[in-house]
Structure 1
Amino acid sequence: MRPPLIRSFSQLEELDPDRPVVTLFSGGLDSSYLLLRLRRMGVREVHAVSVDIGEDESSTYKEQVAEALGATIHILDRREEFAGRYIAPAIVAQAVYLGIHPVSSTLSRPLIAHSAVELARGLGAQAVLHTANRSQNTLRRLNGALRLLGYEGAFGSPYDLDAVTRDDKLVELRHAGIDLLAGRIVSGDSNLWCREFESGILDDPELHEVPEEMYAWSRPTAAPGTTDTLTVDFEHGLPVALDGESLPLTEIVDRLNRRVGAYVLGRYSGLEHLDHGEKVLEIREMPAAWLLLSSYRHVESACLDAEIIREKRHLEQVWTREALEGRWFGELRLAVQAFIDTCASRTTGSVTWQLRTGGADTRSITAGRPLYLRDREAWEELSIDAESAPFAQSRALQLATA
């Protein structure tokens, strides 16, 4: 019998205090409070794992908090893996939630879960704990990933059934000598692909306004009236160069976030469903995603037959749904990925954009083996000639044998 799914703090009392426990650690209020509770329970070996995928929070801050709460911290640099194995497939899959916004935490959660399982197995840990609650889609995504990865120990979030108030967590942490995040007015999540805000002052979809200072990438820093021309190159579906300079995907994303964001491009707001169908508001800034997804579609359109693209658009939503629902490692997403990868293998070319404040226009779309026409009149003449040739030959034969 496999260990039970952890859903409450009372279940933590059943853990063996002499065996290691791994917790996912962001340095935020919920993950810090979980470390405090485990310390109070007498768990002797707590390992706080922080997966670095380009988030805002500093490693030094996380180290200080974890050390103060008696945990061993593991900061794992997974930026290259995140770009290559999660962002790149999302680009070719055009992973956009219901046409509203590119997905983000959907991509990071499977990698975080996989990293935690690797560490837990190496340590012989009895449990992998996280801190998602019922109003967060992360709950089913992490639990789903941990389940599909076949982790042998207990896993889950004690916040699933135990809603500890923010004030209570702050008070207890202060008594333990940890004073943090008291002034935070929203909940945030960040990685090299996205910066996201939700909850707090952004709880109400009918009345919300994001303070401009919360944006980091998409602040209007370009001089009024100026433009910027840039070119992105793709090889077999993968972005490989920016303005002719070959770069790793992490660097392309980083540069585009700031360069495209300077023109206030790549901001998204919209509703996303929870596990039982309720909707919550989420705000994102994703300038690089905005441009790379649009660029990919242009190159793809230059390379692939229209019927293939139509079928792919349906499968893109299947891919996105499976990833959203915590089935990144599931058979259906992997099967759809095989079709999408076949399409990507034929998608090579480049797009040149001219950026302006609030918008952008294509200036060039090129492909190695294009399906587009560059001279319609010449094509029409050739097409007519080709279609007329069999008729002319047949008429000449008739006259010759008359």
Structure 2
Amino acid sequence: MPSTPLIRSFSQLESLDPDRPVVTLFSGGLDSSYLLLRLRRMGIREVHAVSVDIGEDESSGYKRQVAAALGATVHILDRREEFAARYVAPAIAAQAVYLGIHPVSSTLSRPLIAHSAVALARTLGAQAVLHTANRSQNTLRRLNGALGLLRYEGAFGSPYDLDPVSRDDKLAELREAGLDLLAGRIVSGDSNLWCREFESGILDDPEMHEVPEEMYAWSRPTAAPGDTDTVTVTVEHGLPVAVDGVPLPLTTLIDQLNHRVGAFGLGRYSGLEHLDHGEKVLEIREMPAAWLLLHTYRHVESACLDAELVREKRHLEQLWVREALEGRWFGELRLALQTFMDTCATRTTGSVTWRLRTGGADTRAISAPAPLYLRDREAWEDRAIAAESAPFARTGPLLTTV
């Protein structure tokens, strides 16, 4: 192997030992399928394609079909519960929104995917963990950052970093190999139970882009004009735990809200996100559950925490987001910031009732068992004045001697 463990081009793959296992991250898409083809052509005898199920769109059956056609052993790892509990829940507590534009998503999934791949690679004694991100994708630094912080012992990285292959060339070579399943895609997609995201292809140009309505699954409006829906979300110690008083696992709660909130056309985001060297790319998202849960959390938090603490937390939230999206999820600063967020979360308990309507939502009730809010301002003023006046009444007026 080369002295550096970082794989950045297809030529570096020639140094791999054909008799030792290789693990690749596998989405079933064009890039990951083409990588399997190249590894097969190189004579790597044992290729393990890892797909981490966190609620994505692609079916397991489809992935198995593609991997089998390219001679790889596919591993479908169900990590939905772990993703919700250990990645999404902390992001809700940290109010993880990128520069006020959109909630983060792949920022949360990449560390889990990397962790799952490293665990399998160590079990297999694999010589490398490969992925397919290119330099116009933020996934490149997030996966490489996570793999480095996890101290994976073998080589890792993406051969597309310095050695891109055109879409047409990838399609043609896969077609020649007997695989013609991928030609109809017009964008690059990434999905999980928290978010459906689109970029590239017809969305390359920020100055002129339009998303076909059929690409949306959760936020396509289905509510009739004038329809409303009332929904109550309960948070206990920083964790969303119930909808309309019915306790739900976080995965089920998110799924339910994606469809219920999305029925009113809520939870769509579009905006620019920076690349490694400061350039910007357009990304489109739909995240109805995230839209409601993040707003709910902020209301409950405001009801429970001192204003100065909330102000300082809002500053630290952006540090949390920066560390996570730059690929340092497992880094010391992000973990230290999470401790602060978790401390605040222990006191964040309450519920918010929303009235959903087409294009928006309004609060109808904000409730907390140990609130800082007032329910009767006049009564509070009377009590406050009485308490302030009591010492004066006991001592009488001050006498001034001239």
- TM-score bracket for the superposition, by shorter chain length: over 0.9
- Residue identity in the other structure for 1:134: R
Aligned mates of 1:168, 1:219 — CA distance in 2 = 35
Aligned mates of 1:396, 1:387 — CA distance in 2 = 14
- Residue identity in the other structure for 1:148: L
Is 1:358 aligned to 2:356, yes or no? no
User: Partner of 2:277 in structure 1?
Assistant: 276
> What is the SS of the residue equivalent to 1:136?
coil
User: Partner of 1:230 in structure 2?
Assistant: 231
Unaligned runs of 5+ in 2: none
Q: Is the 8 A contact 1:3 1:153 kept in 2?
A: no
Per-residue deviation, residues 304-339 of structure 1 (Å, max 9, x unmatched): 000000000000000000000000000000001111
Is 1:97 aligned to 2:101, yes or no? no
Aligned mates of 1:281, 1:117 — CA distance in 2 = 30
Aligned residues: 398
Q: Is the 8 A contact 1:322 1:332 kept in 2?
A: yes
Q: TM-score normalised to the size of structure 1?
A: 0.98
> What is the SS of the residue equivalent to 1:174?
helix
Mapping for residues 131-142 of structure 1, pairs under 5 Å: 131-142=132-143
User: Partner of 1:80 in structure 2?
Assistant: 81
Mapping for residues 310-329 of structure 1, pairs under 5 Å: 310-329=311-330
> What is the SS of the residue equivalent to 1:19?
coil
- Residue identity in the other structure for 1:375: D
Aligned mates of 1:186, 1:124 — CA distance in 2 = 35
> What is the SS of the residue equivalent to 2:396?
helix
Aligned mates of 1:223, 1:281 — CA distance in 2 = 31
Mapping for residues 146-157 of structure 1, pairs under 5 Å: 146-157=147-158
User: Partner of 2:382 in structure 1?
Assistant: 381
What is the CA distance between 1:84 and its match in structure 2?
Answer: 0.1
User: Partner of 1:334 in structure 2?
Assistant: 335
What is the CA distance between 1:397 and its match in structure 2?
Answer: 9.8
What is the CA distance between 1:224 and its match in structure 2?
Answer: 1.1
> What is the SS of the residue equivalent to 1:118?
helix
User: Partner of 1:24 in structure 2?
Assistant: 25
Is 1:53 aligned to 2:54, yes or no? yes
Percent identity between matched residues is: 85
Q: Is the 8 A contact 1:263 1:358 kept in 2?
A: yes
Per-residue deviation, residues 26-63 of structure 1 (Å, max 9, x unmatched): 00000000000000000000000000000000000000
Is 1:245 aligned to 2:246, yes or no? yes
User: Partner of 1:185 in structure 2?
Assistant: 186
Q: Is the 8 A contact 1:126 1:154 kept in 2?
A: yes
What is the CA distance between 1:183 and its match in structure 2?
Answer: 1.6
Is 1:348 aligned to 2:369, yes or no? no
What is the CA distance between 1:181 and its match in structure 2?
Answer: 1.8
What is the CA distance between 1:4 and its match in structure 2?
Answer: 2.4
> What is the SS of the residue equivalent to 1:40?
helix
User: Partner of 1:145 in structure 2?
Assistant: 146
> What is the SS of the residue equivalent to 1:91?
helix
> What is the SS of the residue equivalent to 1:13?
helix
User: Partner of 1:254 in structure 2?
Assistant: 255
What is the CA distance between 1:368 and its match in structure 2?
Answer: 1.1
> What is the SS of the residue equivalent to 2:15?
coil
Per-residue deviation, residues 89-142 of structure 1 (Å, max 9, x unmatched): 000000000000000000000000000000000000000000000100000000
Aligned mates of 2:328, 2:134 — CA distance in 1 = 19
Aligned mates of 1:2, 1:148 — CA distance in 2 = 18
Would the alpha carbon gap of residues 2 and 348 (structure 1) be closer, same or farther in structure 2, given more than 3 Å must change?
farther
> What is the SS of the residue equivalent to 1:378?
helix
User: Partner of 2:128 in structure 1?
Assistant: 127
What is the CA distance between 1:150 and its match in structure 2?
Answer: 0.3
Aligned mates of 1:25, 1:61 — CA distance in 2 = 12
User: Partner of 1:391 in structure 2?
Assistant: 392
Flag as ranges the 4+ runs of structure 1 deviating above 3 A. Answer: none
- Residue identity in the other structure for 2:149: L
- Residue identity in the other structure for 2:333: L
> What is the SS of the residue equivalent to 2:137?
coil
Aligned mates of 1:311, 1:270 — CA distance in 2 = 26
User: Partner of 2:45 in structure 1?
Assistant: 44
> What is the SS of the residue equivalent to 2:352?
strand
Unaligned runs of 5+ in 1: none
Aligned mates of 1:3, 1:271 — CA distance in 2 = 33
- Residue identity in the other structure for 2:276: D
Q: TM-score normalised to the size of structure 2?
A: 0.98
